[in-house]
Structure 1
Amino acid sequence: MQPVQIVDLFAGPGGLDVAAEKLGLATVGVEWDSAACATRRAAGLATIEDDVRRYGPALFPDADVLAGGPPCQTFTVAGSGAGRRALDDVLAFVDRMVAREDREEIAKDLSKLEDERTGLVLEPLRWALEAIDDLDKPYRAIVLEQVPAVLPVWEAYAEALRSEGYSVDCGLLRTEAYGVPQTRKRAVLVARMGSEPVKLPAPTHRTYRKGISRESGDISLKPWRTMGDVLNRNSPFLVISNYGTGGDPKARGRRGSWEPSATVTGKISRNRVVSVDGVEMDRFSFSEAGRLQTFPTDYPWSGRDVGQQIGNAVPPRLAAHILCAAFGWEPPTDVLDNLGTWLPESATEVNRGKKSSPRMPAMTSA
């Protein structure tokens, strides 16, 4: 399939959109965080700064692909069990939505949830069903990603979308298995309208295991990529995590530059970077932290809380693999090897006013 435009819900600073633009696809993102929107605009990405819940597919008539990564905070399984209760609530709402219960009743019940963010994970399903019911124009493909704890929600989505005529696959992907120099797990769903099977992307690189050589494992796959592969530091280094076990600094996680990074979080600037002799070095810059997520070296990070923007983003290299899987494409090597610099031609032309940006919907009243 050849998509026309992707509408990206909860678009963040642009991880998926960077990949899409590099693949030559038009995007428009909906994001309510002003800082992430500042970065998106600096990057030339078409952006609507607003609440996803105020919009729907009718306002994006050109978009034939739906993507999204809703907030995940309420789905943690740690602590008091609120995450588990949220999950049970969400699965019940999925059933109600697929059964086409009254939308206003569902919205009213969603407003009663302990944390309003819980209901946001249902927004992509609302958009998908509205495109079918109200417009008789189903999205040709759907791509969703989130933390591993959200996988049961994607499994419920998969069952729902199959009943609507989609071929669907979902599961957990490890970022280092797709050439991202970072260990990170993501719950991913890909769907395509029609009976032709769709599958999650096949790994291209070996998975990381502590203490195991990167040359070990399946010889048909490339070795996992290291921090040293993507950061231009002149000597080997160690990264010492800000997170400790029981407050014991000696128990904190350590990764060498000859290994992938641990999961990049919003607190990455707190991680110490030291030489192999223990000498303190400069901590990661925003550009370096972004490169560990496979953002371009010169990506124009803007606004406040840049570390959080970077940590929350989907890695563009992983996104490129996922998008290609959804469209039935082979991941183009030249695109994957060309993620190092920005801007892509389309975003550059939008910035310079040489062509119009994707059509923006009119603002609606709250």
Structure 2
Amino acid sequence: MLEVIDLFCGAGGMSCGLRSAGLRIRAGVDFNKLSVETYRRNFPRARGVCADVKDVRAADLAALLDRRRPFVLAGCPPCQLFSQLHRASRPVGEEFGHYLRLLWALRPDYLVFENVPRIVSYKKAWERLLNRLRQLGYHVTFKVVSSETLGVPQKRKRLVLVAAKSEIILSDPDVRSIKTVRDAIEGLPESDFSIPNHVTMKLSPANLARIQATMKNGGRSKMPRSAFDDSYGRMRWDAPAPTITTRCISFSNGCFGHPEYDRAITVREAALLQGFDRDFRFVGGVWETAKQVGNAVPPPIAQWLGENILRHFRAS
């Protein structure tokens, strides 16, 4: 069985999808304490390590693995690190350098990550990563995919990358599997504190009046092409949701109004729209958990990546 160490794991979206594909999750590493608490709660058989990547020793991670088994190094430095390095005059940014250090020392059988498509525009960092992978003898494939074609009920374009020690090809997404907001969140009550993370944010009087005046099922409270035409709107039941961000529970920060109820979506609903299972629980306050959800790798994307890796491994 393939084992996984997940760097920059956040709440565990990547690990969640790889686990669903049949990989064994050994450890997740992140510097955010509450994200790691979420990770530990949902991956009780894995080690949740709260640490900055610069303080992580490759030997400590290797000790968590059965080195007789092949393993996957998952996770990618946040896009901000690529941006900082792209602008920096020094050869490599500190955290990015430590990521490459761990990659070089661990020599995983597979490397996998997803990120925003614009990451390739940070040419200095992107080429540094690709060159290091080639130096280690990896074959690299990457492509931009639309989340909705991979079973995520949400419009979200992501760049995915897989590196292996022999040529690997990513399968084409199944466009017949597109899911909608209705598929994900219909049936959840307007408010129910017994449902984990299903907490309704209180609207200001102005925003309450605004959403009450907004047509249900896809309506907008602003005229198109206005300064706020991407905010103050409701989701549409029978279409994928807009991109879930770290501000996804705020009616004024995107089209995050519930299709029917006079409120923004909850963290639980946002998690379902990211493709998390209903029993996945997030630890922390409302804004902190919303941030965990918005920053997460949608698990269905990770599952598809894991299935591609397993297919390649079994054929090797």
Bin of the TM-score, shorter chain as denominator length: 0.7 to 0.9
Q: Look up the match of 1:147.
A: 116
Counterpart CA distance in 2 for 1:307 and 1:281 is 19
1:168 partner SS: strand
Question: Are the equivalent residues in 2 in contact too, given 1:19–1:317 (CA < 8 A)?
Answer: yes
Rounded to whole Å, the distance in 1 between the matches of 2:169 and 2:90 is: 23
Q: Which residue of 1 aligns with 2:195?
A: none
Q: Corresponding residue for 2:180?
A: 226
Matched, 1:181 2:153: yes
Query: In terms of mean alpha carbon deviation, does 293-302 or 157-166 score higher?
Result: 157-166
Q: For residues 85-122 of structure 1, what are the alpha-carbon distances to aligned partners after superposition, in whole Å with 9 as ceiling and x for unaligned?
A: 732549943xxxxxxxxxxxxxxxx4xxxxxxxx4344
Partner residue in 2 for 1:200: 170
Identity %: 27
Tell me, in whole angstroms, the C-alpha distance in 2 between the residues paired with 1:257 and 1:30.
Answer: 36
Query: Residue 216 of structure 1 aligns with which residue?
Result: none
* Aligned twin of 1:68: 75
Q: Note if 1:170 corresponds to 2:169.
A: no
Does the C-alpha gap of structure 1 residues 39 and 158 become closer, same or farther in structure 2, counting only changes over 3 Å?
A: same
Q: Is 1:125 aligned to residue 97 of structure 2?
A: no
For residues 219 and 185 of structure 2, the distance between their equivalents in structure 1, rounded to whole angstroms, comes to 13
User: Per-residue deviation at 1:141?
Assistant: 0.6
User: Partner of 2:6: helix, strand, or coil?
Assistant: strand
Provide the alpha-carbon RMSD of the alignment. 3.1
Partner amino acid, structure 2, of 1:284: I
Q: C-alpha displacement at 1:157, in angstroms?
A: 2.1
Alignment of 1:1-366 (within 5 A): 2-3=1-2, 5-22=3-20, 23-43=22-42, 44=44, 45-61=46-62, 62=65, 64-73=71-80, 83=83, 86-87=85-86, 89=88, 92-93=91-92, 110=93, 119-131=94-106, 138-151=107-120, 152=123, 153-193=125-165, 196-205=166-175, 222-233=176-187, 237-238=217-218, 247-248=227-228, 255-271=235-251, 272-273=256-257, 275=259, 280-304=261-285, 305-329=288-312
SS in 2 for 1:170: strand
Between the aligned partners of 2:146 and 2:113, the Cα distance in structure 1 is 15
Offset, 1:274: 5.1
1:55-100 residue CA offsets vs partner (Å, 9 max, x unmatched): 132112216321113222365xxxxxxx4x732549943xxxxxxx
The alpha-carbon distance between structure 1 residues 164 and 69, as it changes in their structure 2 partners (threshold 3 A), is: closer
Please tell me whether the aligned partners of residues 201 and 322 of structure 1 are also in contact (alpha carbons under 8 angstroms): no
CA contact (8 A) 1:174 1:186 kept: yes
Work out the CA distance in 2 between the residues paired with 1:250 and 1:230. 22
Which amino acid is 2:115 matched to?
Q
Cα distance change of structure 1 residues 329 and 316 upon mapping to structure 2, 3 Å threshold: farther
Counterpart amino acid of 2:41? A
Is the Cα contact below 8 Å between 1:198 and 1:328 reproduced in 2?
A: no
Aligned letter for 2:138?
Answer: Y
Amino acid at match of 1:165: G
**Is the CA contact (8 Å cut-off) linking 1:91 and 1:156 kept in structure 2?**
no
Post-superposition offset of 1:240: 5.7
Give the length in aligned residue pairs: 269
Q: What is the alpha-carbon distance in structure 2 between the residues aligned to residue 286 and residue 239 of structure 1?
A: 21
Q: Specify every segment of 5 or more residues in structure 2 that has no aligned partner in the other structure, as ranges.
A: 190-215
Is 1:178–1:203's contact at 8 Å kept on the other side of the alignment?
yes
Residue type of the alignment partner of 1:292? L
CA contact (8 A) 1:71 1:121 kept: no
Letter in 2 for 1:264: I
Counterpart secondary structure, 1:328: helix
Q: 2:18, 2:305 within 8 Å by CA — same for their partners in 1? A: no
Matched to 1:259, the amino acid is: A
**Conserved? CA contact 2:7–2:30, under 8 Å:** yes
Q: CA deviation at 1:198?
A: 1.0
SS in 2 for 1:281: coil
